[in-house]
Structure 1
């Protein structure tokens, strides 16, 4: 199973992805404004690997002038359907279809790990104005919560480590990243949780045994949560760097 095949897998489940994937907490956008040193309202932003527009729409609702950049046909179509007022262009972080120096912020919500940093970092520096901000974040399962740690362990025992792809950006090409962690949770039906789990690339590429695993997980979690509701806990991992002004 290659990283490229996993990256291409999301379009097959775009509607389910949009319905089941978690949003981002308001505290994230407060932290983003603080790190950028400017309000999001009126900021020129490109959200790269925008998917179905979860982060993009939140940024637009806060008054940002946001453009979605998405490589996947199915994901881009779902984004347009759900958020018809958001402009969308096809592309990815390794070759941004954007003019040089045109952005105040460049954001990657749950998508930096699909890029090649040797290409995406120079592209970020190119499209940001001097002093502009590159922000990379992800919603990661909070494994300090016992039931989530147990689920993570079961997935790794069945399918091996590395099923959950996430990579914090490293300092390179003159960019120094600062990191902030934010915790939050949401209470959702068990079926929504399982649908969310099924939108991760491991399950979308049809790895052997994934359907059986989801069925077993449903039965196990029904015993743990007999009312049919679970509280998912997340850690938002936010990394921010600035294009040098000089």
Structure 2
């Protein structure tokens, strides 16, 4: 839930990018994971060359994608710049090697990983610096993939929730969402896309808690933040699909995948 929009403010954007550490535990508890089928598709070019992969989860956050990679039997190195998020990642995914670092300065040797994946974070990168750095650590023929979850606003009640809480990541608005694509680069093939259905089991309160972990909300003044949360809570309690008990939040996971040249 959150895109740059046309009124891009670099200072505000930097504040948003650094806002997650204060809610690391809530992020781990309430953000969605990624479907196994989406992860497998992301890794397919590398998996065709070797079955057990060394995968770099870049900007790994609290390890949502890291855990999915581990569940598929891969060796994972997770790199994350925020110390609080990195601490939470180590609690959530102790089997992974967890390192401080960024997309623009990756603490790994040249050609040391079979694949690089990015979950819900490509829009925070300076791709002019990040793509050459990713190419440096990725073996020729290896895969670079981004995985991004969006609320499926083809569903009417989900679209309505987005109107109430404008921090929503819109599936229908993806084409016009700035910064969420892998930019063309001579070290990589042209990126291709695939979409995978996904869902997250929620209640009114847990969906409000999910929304509260998004950067647009985190940088608001407290009164504005509480007003957005109250508005969303009231909306959800008024919809027959979400008024009582648990419900599924319909989502789509979009994967963009390319291959390191030289393989």
Flag whether TM exceeds 0.5 (same fold).
Answer: yes
Tell me the equivalent position of 2:206. 192
Q: 1:40–1:59: 8 Å Cα contact kept in structure 2? A: no
TM-aligned CA deviation for residue 37 of structure 1: 4.2
Instruction: Normalising by structure 1, report the TM-score.
Output: 0.91
1:62 maps to 2:72: yes
173 and 179 in structure 1: CA distance in 2 versus 1, 3 angstrom threshold: same
* Aligned length, in residue pairs: 242
In the alignment, which of 164, 176, 179 is matched to residue 193 of structure 2? 179
Which segment drifts farther, 45-54 or 224-233?
Answer: 224-233
Q: Secondary structure at the match of 1:45?
A: strand
1 CA distance for matches of 2:166 and 2:21? Answer: 25
8 and 55 in structure 1: CA distance in 2 versus 1, 3 angstrom threshold: same
Instruction: Normalising by structure 2, report the TM-score.
Output: 0.85
> Structure 2 unaligned runs (5+)?
1-10, 168-172
> Structure 1 unaligned runs (5+)?
none
TM-aligned CA deviation for residue 189 of structure 1: 1.8
TM-aligned CA deviation for residue 228 of structure 1: 3.0
Q: CA RMSD in A?
A: 2.2
In the alignment, which of 32, 45, 58 is matched to residue 55 of structure 2? 45
Counterparts in 2 of 1:1-246, with a 5 A limit?
2-38=12-48, 42-156=52-166, 167-175=180-188, 176-207=190-221, 209-224=224-239, 225-245=242-262
TM-aligned CA deviation for residue 154 of structure 1: 2.6
142 and 150 in structure 1: CA distance in 2 versus 1, 3 angstrom threshold: same
2 CA distance for matches of 1:6 and 1:33? Answer: 29
TM-aligned CA deviation for residue 143 of structure 1: 1.1
